Amino acid sequence: MHGTERKAMTETWLKKHRQIYVGATRHPFILAIRDGSVDLSSFKRWLGQDYIFVRAFIPFVASVLLKAWKESDDSTDIDVILGGMAALNDEIEWFKKEASKWGVDLPSVVPQQPNLDYCRFLESLISPDVDYTQAITAFWAIEAVYQDSFAHCLEDGSKTPGELKETCQRWGNEVFGQYCHALQSIANRRLEKATDDVVAKAEVSLLRILEHEVEFWNMSRGPV
């Protein structure tokens, strides 16, 4: 990496890994929501699995907050991360409401293997051995996949069914988009000053996240 221009590292990575990024953000499940052909049992499967994921995501975000507090050179990072935590509080209530609307009994949802694998990966990032730069890059990537995916379902020309629009709005709205940009700016700022070793680790975790996200969407198809 020596001598490499590191401004906007995350943008460089998204170009370099474009194929897998498109796989994660234009998955057949998302395309089916967008064209209105989505099977509602797929949607319900996704909803139940995502609730389990989001519960595991909370301690991960808390760990990023703690790392920011200990390691960040900019105290306003905390405000951005805290905003993300506040959104998760809302999100948990929304999942409960949405699940009851669709007749999904959340306590009886069994986590599928790709979900367990993704949650275990999140847990590995909580370790104090993972530094703030790597953790905030991972946090950005996880949020950005949902933002990009669901915003696609709200674009002009999309035929998203009315009853799924609220779901798409949750992650596809403008405010969530700005929040993802704020996370991306923090990641870029940190990556610019990071050691080659940390930059390499952050890139690997970005790739792992994109792979986990593809597997996560694949679960909506149901057990094979």
Residue 50 contacts ligand NFM per CB under 6 A: yes
Size of the site for ligand NFM (CB under 6 A): 11
Query: In the bound complex, what is the minimum distance in angstroms from residue 212's beta carbon to ligand NFM?
Result: 7
Asked if 213 is an active-site residue, the reply is yes
CA distances from 55 to 36, 95, 207 (A): 29, 11, 22
**Binding to ligand NFM in span 113-152, by CB under 6 A:** 142-143, 145-146
Query: In the bound complex, what is the minimum distance in angstroms from residue 35's beta carbon to ligand NFM?
Result: 21
Residue 216 contacts ligand NFM per CB under 6 A: yes
**Binding to ligand NFM in span 53-82, by CB under 6 A:** 53-54, 57
Closest residue to ligand NFM: CB criterion: 146
Q: Is 143:179 a contact under the CB 8 Å cutoff?
A: yes
Give Dmax over CA atoms of the chain in angstroms: 56
CB atoms within 10 A of CB 159: 10
CB atoms within 10 A of CB 224: 4
How far is Cα 10 from Cα 7, in angstroms, rounded to an integer? 9
Which candidate in 91, 98, 203, 213 is catalytic? Answer: 213
How far is Cα 166 from Cα 173, in angstroms, rounded to an integer? 10
The residue among 138 and 199 lying less far from ligand NFM, judged by its C-beta, is 138
Angle, CA of 156, 216 and 11, to the nearest 5°: 60
* Eight-state DSSP code of residue 127: S
Query: In the bound complex, what is the minimum distance in angstroms from residue 10's beta carbon to ligand NFM?
Result: 16
Site residues for ligand NFM per CB under 6 A: 50, 53-54, 57, 91, 142-143, 145-146, 213, 216
The residues assigned a catalytic role are 213
